[in-house]
Amino acid sequence: MHQPIITGSGVHTPSNVITNDELVVSFNAYVDRFNAAHQEEIVKGDIAAKTHSNADFIRDASGIEQRYVVDKEGILDPTRMTPQLDSRSDDAPSLMAEMGVDAIHKALAQAGREPADIDLTLCAASNHERAYPAIAVEIQQLLGAGGFAYDMNVACSSATFGLQTAADMVRAGSVKCAVVVSPEICSAHLEWRDRDCHFIFGDVATAILVEREIDGATGFRVLSTRCATKFSNNIRNNNGYLRRAHDQMEDRRDMQFVQEGRKVFKEVLPMVSRHIAAHMDDENILANDLKRLWLHQANKSMNDYIGKKVLGRIPEPSEQPNILQDYANTSSAGSIIAFSKYSQDLALGDHGLLCSFGAGYSVGSAVLKRV
Ligand code: COA
């Protein structure tokens, strides 16, 4: 058996930013246009008038202050309210592959590795741009990586489940150097016209390089990983190949992200707290041993609650860094962004815990040690 170690991580951040204020101005313009266009039906009581959104509500309810997106104009156009993503020919790299490759190059640079060193490419993300060929195989080719590649999807837990897959394969000896890449183009599966969730997501791509540890290697030793799932309809996206008949339907709302936010809060928080406690118990890790928590980035109150449960006290901001004020929820990439931006300052021997959670439900955690 071999010891897996994370030797590098990287983040690709799109260049466009949408602040809460910008988002709300465009959303409210859309609402005004909608209400004006449907004035008669609204007066008759046939349809409900839409209500304005509010930037203070968004910050207070979620902790989000802005988000990065691939396309800003299409989202903020009140007559459109969805990103304008170029449709590319089959000969051009897919958008997910392009974003993923940039994140991987950053991870490789940190690890001092070359693309040819990679013998497993996992594209672990909550949506994939096409059914096949796998985005991961395209990334493998664009990079010039070896071995094999495939896509996987466990929604917001894709990256941590990918980490477990990569670490287990390194441990077993079937691969030597794996990359888990998570290009999350969340702006394309968010309904920007839905006031309850129009502020939630942003776009990003992350990558982590997981290798067989050799003498003198530096990085984060993967001490153990743990995954769990339990079926729930409370976070759901019905888009899929059997639903093409719906293309003609006006109401395609269920073909994008849909959630029962309150139920998610109530059900996922205890599940995650119990999961982490059991994982730490099995590894004989005490709260005092943990120098950092890199948590899934969906909602600040959720993270505050989990951080307090895990440490038994309110964590210092430096112990539980949040990035969702800048990136919003980026699905499976969120905890990896936090890890990538806030890990290099840990001392040799320090322990940290990475954890994601989301649709499925799913929870994935990893206990890491700085070496
Ligand atoms: N602007 C102003 N008010 C808004 C609003 C908006 N954009 N969206 C909702 N509201 C109002 C609601 O109408 C409601 O008003 P009411 O009390 O008069 O009925 C009130 O704010 C509370 O709405 P609610 O949807 O219950 O808010 P919340 O406190 O649950 O917060 C989320 C909303 C989305 C931030 C929160 O539910 C959340 O983060 N959930 C979990 C997210 C998550 O982990 N999802 C998993 C995906 S990975």
Query: Which residue puts its alpha carbon closest to atom 47 of ligand 1?
Result: 358
SS3 353: strand
Query: What is residue 220's predicted lDDT score, i.e. its pLDDT?
Result: 98
Q: Give the pLDDT score at 244.
A: 62
Which of 198, 201, 262, 357 for a ligand 1 pocket mutation test, highest count of atoms within 8 Å of Cβ? Answer: 262
In this prediction the pTM is 0.96
CA of 51 to the centre of ligand 1 (A): 13
pLDDT (tens digit per residue) in 300-316: 999 999 999 999 999 99
pLDDT in tens, 19-37: 999 999 999 999 999 999 9
**Cα–Cα distances in Å, from 137 out to 78, 120, 134, 304?**
37, 10, 5, 38
Which amino acid, residue 119?
Answer: D
pLDDT of residue 14: 98
Which tokens is 159 given? 């990256």
Q: What is the CATH number of domain 221-370?
A: 3.40.47.10
191 CA distance to ligand 1 middle (Å):
14
**Length of the chain, please?**
371
- Please report, for residues 21, 23, 28, 52, 193, the alpha-carbon distance to residue 77 in angstroms, rounded to integers and kept in the order given: 14, 10, 11, 16, 11
How far does residue 189's CA lie from ligand 1's centre (Å)? Answer: 18
How do strand 66-69 and strand 177-185 relate by DSSP bridges? unpaired
Q: State the pLDDT at residue 205.
A: 98
Dist. CA 58 → ligand 1 center (Å): 8
Within 6 Å (CB) of ligand 1, which residues are found?
Answer: 53-54, 57-58, 61-62, 156, 195-197, 200, 235, 259, 261-262, 264-265, 298-299, 302, 329, 358
Which residue in the list 123, 156, 227, 355 is annotated as catalytic?
A: 156
Q: Supply the DSSP symbol for 116.
A: G
In the block, residue with structure tokens 């006031």: 195
Collect the ranges in the chain with pLDDT lower than 50.
Answer: none
- Residues ≥6 apart with Cβ < 8 Å to 132: none
Per-position b or e across 231-255, b if 16+ CB within 10 A of its CB: ebebbebeeeeeeeeeeeeeeeeeb
Distances (CA, A) of 255 to 22, 78, 83, 230, 365: 26, 21, 16, 22, 29
User: What pLDDT was estimated at residue 248?
Assistant: 57
Work out the number of other CB atoms within 10 angstroms of the CB of residue 89.
Answer: 5
First to last CA, the chain: 19
Q: Alpha helices of the chain — where are they, by DSSP H?
A: 20-37, 39-44, 55-62, 73-76, 95-111, 135-143, 158-172, 261-282, 300-311, 324-327, 334-341
CA-closest residue to ligand 1 atom 12: 196
* For ligand 1, mutation pick of 272, 299, 362 (most atoms within 8 Å of CB): 299
Question: What is the 196 CA–ligand 1 centroid distance (Å)?
Answer: 5
Name the percent of the chain in helix, strand, coil, to the closest 5: 40, 25, 35
Q: pLDDT per residue over 75-125, tens digit each? A: 999 999 999 998 899 999 999 999 999 999 999 999 999 999 999 999 999
> Could you tell me the distance, in angstroms and rounded to a whole number, from the CA of residue 117 to the centre of ligand 1?
45
Mark whether 355 is an active-site residue: no
Got the DSSP string for 7-44?
A: EEEEEE--SEEEEHHHHHHHHHHHHHHHHHHTHHHHHH
Mutate-to-test residue for ligand 1 from 196, 256, 271, highest number of ligand atoms within 8 A of CB: 196
Question: CB under 8 Å, gap of 24 or more: what pairs does 84-90 form?
Answer: 85/185, 85/188
Helix (H, G, I), strand (E, B) or coil at 263: helix
